[in-house]
Amino acid sequence: MWIHVRWILLSLALIVASNSAEAATTRNIQCIRQAQQICRVRAASVPPMYQHQVFTQCLAQARIPCATAAAHPNHRHTADPRIVHMVQRIMATMCPTGNCGQVLVVSNPNEKQLASARTNGRGQTILSYSPRDMNYIASRWGINAVIGTIAHEIGHHFDFNSSPWAARMRTVRHRELRADWFAGCALAKLGIESGSLAKAVQVIGEYPTHGYPDGYSRSNQVQRGYTQCGGHVWPNHIGRRL
């Protein structure tokens, strides 16, 4: 009787393991399809003679992050297409050549911060965000505030990996301030007007994080990046409100 029960339990375990492996494979395929969409945008931004090369390299860089995301089904979920589109816009704007590595996006309900970026230093980054917090930011301050938050995390990607912006960003000592500078620059390059930028900066004061620089220093770096990259009419009241 006991042997029979053990065989039943073993059979069930094998079935669960098989189903888990199939689910991971399905998630990986979905991630690769999402990466293909991002890579097509990248490829479309370069001259036709280089598009196939850029697309192939971009997709190759996506395979490891996709496998990583697929292996953690308990806390990683398919990203909101709006967030994915933001990443596409920022990457295409800040790296029109398409050779600045790969950022893949995952929705993580257990994310302890608004968002985080985990990179391996070889051009591959997984951007994890809290869907609840992003929805709150969008409802309170608008979609451009969300773009600013996402741009900050992409700033870490450009900082840690070889990119045209890395040398310029590293004139700032603290890595969080470098990402803030990049976020301001990205918002300017995206053509976001300073009124919406003010709302993006207010998120910094609403979500202070232990170990980060103070809100005033961070808002100054966002302002600096914004103005140095062509933004205009910075509202004078922003720094005092943080």
205-232 confidence digits (pLDDT tens): 677 666 677 778 888 888 889 999 988 7
**pTM for the complete prediction?**
0.68
The percentage of residues in the chain with a pLDDT greater than 70, rounded to a whole number, is 76
What's the whole-number average pLDDT of the chain?
77
Q: Kindly tell me the burial class for residue 196, based on how many C-beta atoms sit within 10 Å of its own C-beta (0-12, 13-18, 19 or more).
A: middle
Q: What number is the average pLDDT over the span 4-32?
A: 56
The 10s digit of each residue's pLDDT in 196-205 is 777 777 777 6
Of 218, 224, 220, nearest in space to 185 by CA: 224
Q: What number is the average pLDDT over the span 78-101?
A: 87
| pLDDT range class, residue 187, cuts 50, 70, 90 | very high
pLDDT higher than 90, residue 107: no
Q: What number is the average pLDDT over the span 16-21?
A: 51
* Region at 95 (left for phi over 0; alpha for psi -120 to 50; beta for the rest): beta
Give residue 18's pLDDT.
Answer: 47
Of the ranges 35-44, 66-75, 224-233, which one carries the lowest mean pLDDT score?
Answer: 66-75
Of the ranges 103-117, 123-137, 163-177, which one carries the lowest mean pLDDT score?
Answer: 163-177
Q: What number is the average pLDDT over the span 14-19?
A: 43
Of the ranges 32-36, 133-137, 139-143, 171-175, which one carries the lowest mean pLDDT score?
Answer: 32-36
Give residue 239's pLDDT.
Answer: 46
Give residue 22's pLDDT.
Answer: 72
Where in the sequence is the domain holding 147, given as residue range(s)? Answer: 2-241
The 10s digit of each residue's pLDDT in 169-181 is 877 888 889 999 9
Asked if 77 and 117 touch (Cβ cutoff 8 Å), the reply is no
Residue 103, H or E segment? strand 102-107
Of 127, 145, 116, nearest in space to 206 by CA: 145
pLDDT higher than 80, residue 131: yes
pLDDT higher than 60, residue 19: no
Domain tally for the chain?
Answer: 1
